[in-house]
Amino acid sequence: MTHPSIRPWYARPTFPSDDVIAIFDRDPQPQIAYNQGDAASIQGHLADIMRGLYGKMDSLKRSPDEFRTWTDEDGYVTFYNVLLDFAGPETRDRVQILQRLGAFKFRTGAGPDEKKRLIEECFAPATDKEDPRIVATSRSRRLSQVWSPTRDTILDFIVGRPAQAGRVLSDRLNPTNTEPLRLISHPFKDVRSTELQPVADARVIAFEREAEIHIIPGVSKTLSNWDADAGAVGGVEQVSLFETLLLHELVELVAHEENPELPALHTHIVATTFERYLKADLLSVAVEDFFLDWPVMSEAEESERYEAQLKVELAEAEAMFAEEEIPESFDEDDDHLPMDSDGKAPVKKKKKVVVKKVVKKKAVKKVVKKKKG
C-alpha cells in the first residue's frame, strides 16, 4: 500500500505503487527549482513559474469571472465525474469518500430505506429514455440535493466559490508565508530508460510529499505545445497546463494540511476537480502525448546500442567477404588451357581471396572515427 504521505498526480484509475515513487528517490541529481523559504535566491524558469502562480491565484481571488464562469452546478458535475473516474465502482466505495469529504443531508423523518434510495439514484445507470449527454448533470444535481462538501474546505471553495480557492492558494504561495514549500526537479540525467519505465507505465509526472512538489521538468515542453488547444475545451486562458499540474499538487498539499487524516486518493479527487475547473481533462490527454517519447535512452544505453550495432555490421562484413580458396576440382578440367613450349600444360596456381583483411581494416577505421566523434 502506498505511504499516505505521498500524493501523486496520475491519470489512470489505479493508484501508483510505492515502487514508482522510489524511482524518484533514486534520482542521482535532483535539483531544488524553487524554495519558498529562500525564494529570492532561487533563479530559473521553474522558479519564475512558481512566483507567477502567486499573482495568478491572487487574480482569481479578486476577479473569478475573468477566469471562468463557474456555477454551483458546474462544480458539482465536475466533482461528480472525477468521483466516478477514481473511486471504486461500487456505490459504497463512493459513499465512503463522500462521507470523508462532506456530509449527507436528508429531510427530517427520512428513514434508512429512503436515504438509501436517494443515494442510489445519484449513481443509477442511464435509462433508454435519457439523453447520455445530460446523465452526469442529472445525477450530480441529485447529489447536490442530498450531499455537500465540508464547509470552508478547499473542496467547498472549488465546487461553489472559486474566488475563495484563489485566496487560499495565493496565501499558500505568498513569498512571505513561512510554511515550507519547495519544488524539486527530477531530470533523471544518465538514468537508464529501463529503470524509468514503471514511472511511464503509471503515468506519474509529479507528486507532493512533506511540502515538496516533485516533478519531471521535461513534461513542460510537451504541455506548452498543447496550451493552444486549451481554449477549445473551455479552459482558463490565464493558466498554462504546466501551471495547472503544479496547482494540482498544491491543492493536494492544502487539502492534506486541512485534514492530515485524508487518504491520498481523497486529496487527489479534490485536486483533480480544481484541475478540471482550470483545463477540463486536457492535462491528462497532453501527458499521454509526453509519454509517447519518454523515457529516452541514457548515454550509456545509446553507447551500448551503438556498439552492438557495430558488432552486427562487422559480423555481416566478415561473413560476406569470408576467406575462400579456389576449389580443387578447378584443376581437373584443364584441356582447354594453352600448351607451353615444352608441350606441357601450364600449372595453374591456386589463388586466395584477400579482400577480407582490407575490409576489416576499413571497418576498424570506421569504428575509430565514430568513437572519436
pTM tops 0.75, yes or no: yes
312: its cell numbers: 552486427
Helix, strand, or coil here: 85?
Answer: helix
315-365 per-position pLDDT tens digit = 777 787 765 555 565 555 555 555 555 555 555 555 544 444 444 444 444
Say how far apart CA 246 and CA 251 lie, in whole Å.
Answer: 9
Who contacts 212 (Cβ-Cβ below 8 Å, separation ≥6)? Answer: 180, 181, 182, 183, 184
Q: What distance separates the 2 farthest-apart alpha carbons in the chain? A: 133
Nearest C-alpha neighbor of 35 from the set 260, 245, 185: 185
Taking the domains of the chain in order of start, what are their residue ranges? 6-290, 299-372
Inter-residue contact 300 to 192 (CB < 8 Å): yes
Which pairing describes strands 102-104 and 147-149: parallel, antiparallel, or unpaired?
antiparallel
Nearest C-alpha neighbor of 195 from the set 297, 42, 320: 297
Question: What is the reported pLDDT for 268?
Answer: 97
Who contacts 101 (Cβ-Cβ below 8 Å, separation ≥6)? Answer: 149, 150, 153, 155, 262, 266, 269, 270
In tens digits, the chain (373 residues) has pLDDT values of 444 489 999 988 889 998 999 999 999 999 999 999 887 889 999 999 999 999 999 999 999 999 999 999 999 999 999 999 999 899 999 999 999 999 999 998 899 999 999 999 999 999 988 998 999 999 999 999 999 999 999 999 999 999 999 999 999 999 899 999 999 999 999 999 999 999 999 999 999 999 999 999 999 999 999 998 766 666 799 999 999 999 999 999 999 999 999 999 999 999 999 999 999 999 999 999 999 999 998 777 777 766 767 677 777 777 877 655 555 655 555 555 555 555 555 555 555 444 444 444 444 444 444 444 4
